[in-house]
């Protein structure tokens, strides 16, 4: 979604988007825990392997998979946090603009009333 599209969303829509990202984050945390359990199981299998060469080869694959999983997880968390912060900032700016417009409008009305009174 572009910045322009976000600016046209209602506050409730922005809150819903943040809620969805939080749900996604929780799902990713759960997935990460499941992957860690699988990793633990695989590490146990490796410890039972026969030769050092097999163990070394299996560990290499496990560490690569674990690192990739961790990198993906961190990337998703950073992305989610950045998007949520951006949306919150946009909502604050929108609200400030609306209040500024309201203040300007009230000032114009007051000035018009003062001019009429003269």
Per residue in 6-45, pLDDT (tens digit) is: 788 888 989 999 999 999 999 999 999 999 999 998 888 7
Per-residue model confidence (pLDDT) at position 36: 96
Identify the pLDDT of residue 111: 82
pLDDT of residue 60: 87
pLDDT digits (tens, 9 = 90+) for 68-78: 999 998 999 88
75-84 long-range contacts (CB < 8 A, ≥24 apart) are: 76/24, 76/25, 76/28, 77/25, 77/28, 80/21, 80/24, 80/25, 83/21, 84/18, 84/21, 84/22
Residue 51 in this model has a pLDDT that exceeds 80: no
Q: Is a pLDDT exceeding 70 seen at residue 112?
A: yes
pLDDT band at 118 (very low <50, low <70, confident <90, very high): low
pLDDT value at residue 117: 62
- Global pTM reads 0.37
């Amino acid at each position: 979604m572009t910045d322009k599209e976000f600016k046209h969303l209602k506050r409730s829509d922005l809150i819903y988007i943040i809620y969805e990202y939080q749900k996604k984050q929780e799902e990713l945390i759960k997935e990460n825990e499941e992957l860690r359990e699988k990793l633990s199981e695989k590490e146990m299998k490796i410890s039972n392997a026969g030769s050092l060469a097999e163990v070394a080869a299996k560990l290499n694959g496990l560490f690569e998979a674990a690192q990739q999983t961790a990198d993906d997880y961190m990337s998703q968390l950073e992305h989610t946090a950045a998007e949520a912060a951006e949306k919150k900032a946009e909502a604050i700016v929108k609200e400030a603009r609306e209040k500024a417009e309201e203040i300007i409008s009230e000032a114009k009305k007051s000035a018009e009333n003062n001019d009429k009174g003269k």
